[in-house]
Amino acid sequence: MKNNTISTESTLMLEGLRRSALFTTYQKAFIDATGLGMILLTCQEIEKHPCRPNDSRNRFCSMLNSSNHLCDSCQSNHWEEKVKGNRYSHWEATCFSGMKITAIPIVVGENKIGYLRAAPILDKAPKVKKISNLVTELSLDDEAQKNIEAAYTQIEAVDGDKYTSMLTLLSMFAIQLSDMANRIALEQQQAEPKVIIIAKRFIGEHLDEKLTLDRVSQVAGVSSFYFCKLFKQTTGLSFTEYINRRRVEWAKRKLLTPDTRVTEVAFDVGYMSLSQFNRSFLKYAGESPTRYRERIRRSDLAAAAAA
Closest CA to 90 of 169, 7, 23, 18: 169
pLDDT in tens, 91-124: 777 777 777 888 888 888 777 888 888 888 888 8
E strands within the chain? 38-41, 80-83, 91-94, 100-108, 111-118
Determine the structural domain holding residue 175 and report its residue range: 3-183
Section 279-303 average pLDDT: 80
CA dist list (Å): 253 to 88, 205, 256: 19, 17, 6
Letter for the amino acid at 24?
T
Domain end residue (candidates: 159, 183, 207)? 183
Same domain, 49 and 102: yes
Same domain, 176 and 195: no
User: Residue 96: CB partners within 8 Å, gap ≥ 6?
Assistant: 74, 77, 78, 130, 131, 133, 134
pLDDT in tens, 181-195: 888 776 664 567 889
Same domain, 47 and 143: yes
Residue 243 has pLDDT above 90, yes or no: yes
Domain end residue (candidates: 183, 212, 239)? 183
Q: What's this model's pTM, rounded to 2 decimal places? A: 0.54
Would you say 107 and 87 are in contact if contact means Cβ atoms under 8 Å apart? yes
Q: What was the pLDDT predicted at 190?
A: 57
Same domain, 159 and 136: yes
**What is the layout of strands, in order, in the sheet containing 80-83?**
38-41, 111-118, 100-108, 91-94, 80-83
CATH number for position 214: 1.10.10.60
Q: What is the spatial distance between Cα 198 and Cα 193, in angstroms, rounded to a whole number?
A: 9
Residue 71 has pLDDT above 70, yes or no: no
Section 273-278 average pLDDT: 95
Q: Residue 221, by phi and psi: left (phi above 0), alpha (psi -120 to 50) or beta?
A: left
Same domain, 222 and 143: no
Domain end residue (candidates: 183, 213, 232)? 183
Section 5-29 average pLDDT: 77
Same domain, 68 and 168: yes
Structural domain total, the chain: 2
Would you say 155 and 63 are in contact if contact means Cβ atoms under 8 Å apart? no
Letter for the amino acid at 250?
W
Q: What is the DSSP letter of 286?
A: S
Q: What is the DSSP letter of 128?
A: G
Same domain, 142 and 229: no
Q: What was the pLDDT predicted at 60?
A: 77
Same domain, 41 and 166: yes
Q: What was the pLDDT predicted at 19?
A: 83
How high does pLDDT run on average in the chain? 78
Residue 232 has pLDDT above 80, yes or no: yes
